[in-house]
Amino acid sequence: MSEPVNVQRRRLLGTTSSLAGASLLGLALGGNAIAKSVAQAPQGLIPTFNNIRQIRAGTLDVGYVDAGPADGPVAILLHGWPYDIHSFIDVVPRLTAAGYRVIVPHLRGYGTTRIVSPDTPRNGEQAVVAVDMIALMDALKIRKAVVAGFDWGARTACIMAALWPERCEALVSVSGYLIGSQEGNRKPLPPQAELQWWYQFYFATERGAAGYAANVDSFNKLIWQLASPQWRFDDATFARSARAFNNPDHVEIVVHNYRWRLGLAQGEAQYDALETRLAQLPKIGIPSITMEGDANGAPHPPPAAYAGQFTGKYQHIDVGTGIGHNLPQEAPKAFADAVLRVTRL
């Protein structure tokens, strides 16, 4: 079912035709609220987060997991594209067992998170996702937290650490320093590197936007396979996350994100000052751990290229045994250990 794109949203996408959005069918994320954050799965099924909470934060109504002791130190775990909160399904119990309160939000365009007003642009630029997370911390009355993530979530965590260091206890970022700029993205890469970004160029076309809208699940499953070529996930594992793509704003936000990166779509003027600061590639001074899997099939910079962006206590960890792009789900112990270690560097 197509969803009309209003004038303001069309301006952001830089397109003359609307995108076919997936209709909202609702999410089966766990049933009745129970004490544990991870539901015990019946035999033959896989566990899922239950008791998804909702809170108004900034321009969003955010769906999120809130697990562990209410008075514990806080860790905020941020997923990427095309993944969801279940990338952390085996990380959360490890952190709550260590006394952490763990917040795992659906980013804008995923799961039960909704942009409240139909007039708000379906914006995917890098700054807005970080603003969303600071608004979530404000709404939850969280003064400071360890921020950790991968893909879009790692970029968001890096931005939070760079622009709001007073809100961030420490940082764990898969694939390192991921803050970028439209100006920086104008520079062409070597052909083999450009090939890895094929989907970004696909999304730059109207054919690509329509193709993603028509084939969200199969497209995203292909990305999982390419980004983690040695990860043997099953259909049930993918389907658990794929429910989060059934969000009315998912396609527009994803397409806008990649068009914005190439300068093919505008952001919102209210975030221009933040983007100007980010274009300077600000250093990160809080305690930080970066991580990389040895079999990451997605585009990612080598650690030596970004180590100098971290000016505080810093450690890089390589994770072996065929670990791909979705490191928290593929190597949950290593990721959880990094979150627990980063405040003690």
Q: Which tens digit of pLDDT belongs to each residue from 213-263?
A: 999 999 999 999 999 999 999 999 999 999 999 999 999 999 999 999 999
Tell which residue, 254, 217, 213, has the closest CA to residue 235. 217
Nearest one of 259, 257, 12 to 120, comparing CA atoms: 12
Q: Is the separation of the CB atoms in 124 and 254 below 8 Å?
A: yes
Given a cut of 50, is residue 7 above it in pLDDT? no
175 is written with which tokens?
């694939």
In a 13 Å sphere around the CA of 287, the CA atoms on its Cβ side amount to 12
DSSP state of 271: G
- Residue 38 has phi, psi (to 5 degrees) of -115, 120
Q: Where are the alpha helices (DSSP H) in the chain?
A: 7-13, 92-97, 126-139, 152-163, 191-196, 198-203, 206-214, 216-227, 235-242, 250-261, 272-279, 303-306, 327-330, 332-342
Mean pLDDT over 122-150 rounds to 98
Predicted confidence (pLDDT) per residue in 306-326, tens digit: 999 999 999 999 999 999 999
d(CA 268, CA 13): 11
**Range with lowest mean pLDDT among 44-53, 59-68, 330-339:** 44-53
Nearest residue to 157 (alpha-carbon basis) of 85, 83, 78, 88: 78
pTM of the model: 0.90
- Segments making up each domain of the chain, as ranges: 7-342
Confidence of residue 45 (pLDDT cuts 50, 70, 90): confident
Would the CA dihedral through 100, 106, 108, 114 be positive or negative?
A: negative
Contact assessment for residue 158 and residue 151, using Cβ atoms and an 8 Å cutoff: no
More confident residue, 262 or 15: 262
**Structure confidence at residue 10 (pLDDT):** 35
Q: How far apart are CA 138 and CA 144, in angstroms?
A: 10
7-342: CATH class: alpha beta
